[in-house]
């Protein structure tokens, strides 16, 4: 469940992260103020406008980078088409030529890495833009607030019987870490999708029985385990509450991950 790497040139940051952080803050502060259809529409419109402007700015930057890459490739070709340095050049000239070639290669690699980052940032912005546009459409049509961006339903209706995080084993006194939660369940009852997404794994995983992994498309994934049989397959597009399969025993395992890292899902259940 890996995501595209963003570790290249950590000092170089683009605007999307800041915009989404501001958008998240607006959600929180907006909740502390007046609530209702009008305030929800205004909040989503503001977030959507910020994301659209960010996506367009990143697109301009990507176009510039593509043009720069073309120039870099041409320059490097001119510097290297003769192969090794001609024999008639003296040592200083040969060294200067070697330095120019090395610099051209470094700049080309840098531009390629920057293009990779820009493309990933634009993809993230596009996902956020689609989600906000859907939310705004629902608000405009229903005249009422919609489900919050991060909220989700439980995969099974039972109470939580295994908490997220550190715990001490009663028998061994060893400190263990649970990366998800466990719900009490009735054997044979259905587990359901907590949110809309695409199935990226449907099958057995060690220690969890039959498992479904759902990718929401924005770096958020859900793992639903402890199933006896599955009713979905890899590649299926799921809506919220789509049945995933029958529960094997009396517990269902649920794990929430954001960009590969486990998150306490109890913060987001409705």
Q: Residues 63, 119: contact at Cβ < 8 Å? A: no
Shared domain for 95 and 207, answered yes or no, is no
How many domains are contained in the chain?
2
Residue where a domain terminates, one of 142, 169, 196: 142
Contacts of 90 (CB under 8 A, 6+ apart): none
CATH of the domain at 195: 2.70.70.10
β 220-230/237-238 pair status: unpaired
Residues 21 and 137 both lie in one domain: yes
116 and 184 belong to one structural domain: no
Of the three residues 142, 171, 199, the one that is the final residue of a domain is 142
Checking 35-40 for CB contacts under 8 A at 24+ apart, the result is 35/145, 36/145, 37/139, 37/143, 37/144, 37/145, 40/139, 40/145, 40/146
Contacts of 25 (CB under 8 A, 6+ apart): none
Contact between 199 and 234 under an 8 Å Cβ cutoff? The reply is yes
Both 92 and 60 in one domain: the answer is: yes
Cβ distance 212 to 252 under 8 Å? no
Domain boundary among 86, 113, 142: 142
Q: List 62's β-bridge partners, or say none.
A: none
Residues 126 and 31 occupy one common structural domain: yes
Could you tell me the residue range of the domain that residue 71 belongs to?
A: 15-142
* Residue recorded with tokens 């209706």: 157
In whole angstroms, give the CA distance from residue 99 to residue 127.
43
The answer to whether residues 184 and 244 belong to one domain is yes
pLDDT tens, the chain, 270 aa long: 444 433 334 334 444 454 444 444 444 444 333 344 556 677 777 887 788 888 888 888 888 877 877 776 666 666 565 555 455 556 666 667 667 777 767 777 777 777 788 788 888 888 887 777 776 666 665 544 444 455 789 999 999 998 888 766 667 777 777 889 999 999 999 999 999 999 999 999 988 999 999 999 878 899 999 999 999 999 999 999 999 999 999 999 999 987 788 888 887 887
Q: What's the pTM value of the predicted model, to 2 decimals? A: 0.47
Q: Specify if 6 maps to a domain.
A: no
């Amino acid at each position: 469940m890996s995501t595209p790497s963003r570790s290249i040139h950590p000092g170089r940051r683009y605007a999307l992260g800041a915009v989404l952080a501001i958008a998240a803050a607006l959600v929180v502060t907006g909740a502390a103020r007046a609530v209702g259809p009008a305030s929800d529409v205004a909040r989503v419109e503001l977030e959507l406008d910020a994301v659209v402007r960010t996506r367009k700015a990143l697109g301009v930057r990507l176009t510039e980078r593509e043009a720069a890459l073309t120039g870099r490739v041409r320059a490097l070709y001119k510097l290297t088409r003769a192969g090794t340095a001609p024999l008639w050049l003296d040592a200083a000239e040969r060294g200067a030529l070697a330095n120019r070639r090395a610099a051209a290669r470094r700049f080309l690699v840098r531009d390629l890495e920057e293009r990779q980052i820009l493309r990933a940032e634009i993809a993230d912005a596009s996902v956020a833009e689609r989600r906000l546009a859907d939310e705004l459409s629902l608000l405009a049509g229903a005249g009422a607030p919609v489900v919050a961006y991060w909220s989700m339903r439980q995969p099974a209706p039972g109470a939580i019987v295994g908490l997220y995080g550190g715990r001490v084993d009663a028998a061994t006194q060893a400190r263990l870490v649970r990366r998800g939660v466990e719900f009490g369940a009735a054997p044979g009852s259905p587990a359901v999708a907590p949110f809309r997404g695409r199935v990226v794994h449907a099958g057995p995983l060690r220690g969890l029985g039959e498992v479904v992994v759902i990718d929401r498309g924005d770096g958020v994934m859900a793992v639903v385990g402890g199933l006896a049989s599955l009713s979905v397959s890899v590649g299926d597009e799921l809506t919220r509450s789509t049945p995933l399969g029958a529960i094997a025993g009396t517990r269902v395992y649920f794990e929430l991950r954001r960009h590969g890292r486990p998150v306490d899902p109890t913060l987001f259940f409705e």
